[in-house]
Structure 1
Amino acid sequence: MKKGVHPGYRPVVLRDPGAFPTHRRAERLDQRHGRN
């Protein structure tokens, strides 16, 4: 996670662009993966 990036945006979205309908949902799944 790079600094200065929108707080709702996570690398997991780039990894699976079609897996999550929203950035917010991706963020929650991201925490489950321990990429917080």
Structure 2
Amino acid sequence: MRDVTPEIWGFRQSLLATIGRNARAEAQRSRCALQIH
């Protein structure tokens, strides 16, 4: 994986970070929904 450019690497990192944030927010939402019902 030495031929990966910093731009692609940075894009991948930000993409993974965004996915992680969305997953966390989704989990929090479902937890709140479970507590309400």
Tell me the TM-score normalised to structure 1 length: 0.37
Structure number with greater CO (CA < 8 Å, separation at least 6) is: 1
Tell me the TM-score normalised to structure 2 length: 0.36
Larger gyration radius, structure 1 or structure 2: 2
Q: Please state which structure has a larger fraction of its residues in helix.
A: 2
